[in-house]
Amino acid sequence: MTITSSRVTTSVVGHLNDGQKICAYTLNNHHGVQARIIDFGATLMELLVPDRTGSVNNVVLGYDTPEDYQKGSSYLGAVVGRVANRIKDGRFSLAGKAYSLVKNDNNLNHLHGGEVGFDKRLWRAEILNEPAVAAVAFHLTSDDGDEGYPGTLSVSVIYRLHNDNTLSVEYQASTTATTVVNLTQHSYFNLAGAPFAHVGGHELQLNASRFTPTDDHGIPTGEQLPVPEVLDFCVAKPLSCALDSGDALLQASRGLDHNFCIDIEPGTSRKRRVVRAVAEVYDPSSGRRMTVRSSYPGVQLYTGNYLAEDACHERQPFLPQSGFCLECQYYPDAPNRSEFDSIELRAGQLYRELTSYHFSW
């Protein structure tokens, strides 16, 4: 079955193990940009963008079939929650009460919402009628006690494809009781397009002069330090400058996997929910450029260092570092770090954040 609106096309593309349908929602704009999102995990499955010659190609890594997303562990294109990134020892406290979460990160820490996080849920989709924008909202209810988290959380994620070639992702959430929330979009980008080769040639400029150092298990020390030379992307340089450096900072994670503190632009507010410039990435081979803006204070730069252990395309494993993530979010282990911005959400409050990806060629 295919349902068509003026800017959004919907079709059934697969099924869950229990027989429920997996549907894809394809957003189109006037310049040949197309975003294909499935309701399983509210996952960006495909993003078609022209290059400098006008040739259109997919610039995000994805599994071969919707069914593969049920088995995969690399979070390809998914919305991650209830809390993205790591929580030390799978523990945190709110109002003096301790909560224990599943330790799904090498049996040490809690990672990306747990064993059955938001990336493994079927969301309810709603096509939105917005002027000059292709838009679809995905809704999910996470019950009290889900993966150990308190409060019933109602979540909405809205994808919008604009005619200026911007794909925006808006996050909203409310809760029945005090809880913690940190949502992100976990796409792996490769602006050269499929077939996806090593991303070392991509040139990254990152508006971050500080980062949060971690232990060998990815848990922040609580410090926010100036970026060392190997992590300094304040002036654009190829990712290979870091990936090929042999620097000890990259050894534990086999590449880049670091949280950066987004700089506050001169003259702008330090208040939450102010959208700021995060990064610009350019691929010389295709001429594609991606500009990222977000209301989040941090961004996790990850270069797909473990992709070969899980993900594949056309039944061929992805090579390590064949995609990069810019996961805009709050800092890792925020519930246990009073030095970091709080991710606490109380009943009656609205969690609302925005990240956008603008493409040019």
Domain count within the chain = 1
Residue range(s) defining the domain that contains residue 303: 2-360
Q: How many angstroms separate the CA atoms of 107 and 87, rounded?
A: 12
| 219 Cβ contact partners less than 8 Å away, ≥ 6 residues apart | 86, 88, 109, 332, 333
What are residue 353's DSSP bridge partners? 171
What pLDDT score was predicted for residue 314?
Answer: 67
Instruction: Give CA 232 to chain center in angstroms.
Output: 21
- φ, ψ at 106 (rounded to 5°): 55, 30
Active site residue 110: no
- Residues 320, 302: contact at Cβ < 8 Å? no
What pLDDT score was predicted for residue 125?
Answer: 98
What pLDDT score was predicted for residue 2?
Answer: 44
Return the CA Rg of the chain.
19
Cβ neighbour number for residue 54 with a 10 Å cutoff: 8
Indicate which CATH number applies to the domain containing 92.
2.70.98.10
List, in sequence order, the alpha helices (H) in 187-303: 240-243
The model's pTM is 0.95
Catalytic residue among 110, 112, 162, 186: 186
pLDDT along the chain (361 residues), means of 10: 66 95 97 97 98 97 91 95 98 96 96 98 97 96 98 98 98 98 98 95 98 95 98 98 96 95 75 87 98 98 89 76 98 97 98 98 97
Active site residue 327: yes
Burial class (CB in 10 A: 0-12, 13-18, 19+), 32: middle
In the chain the first and final C-alpha atoms are separated, in Å, by 34
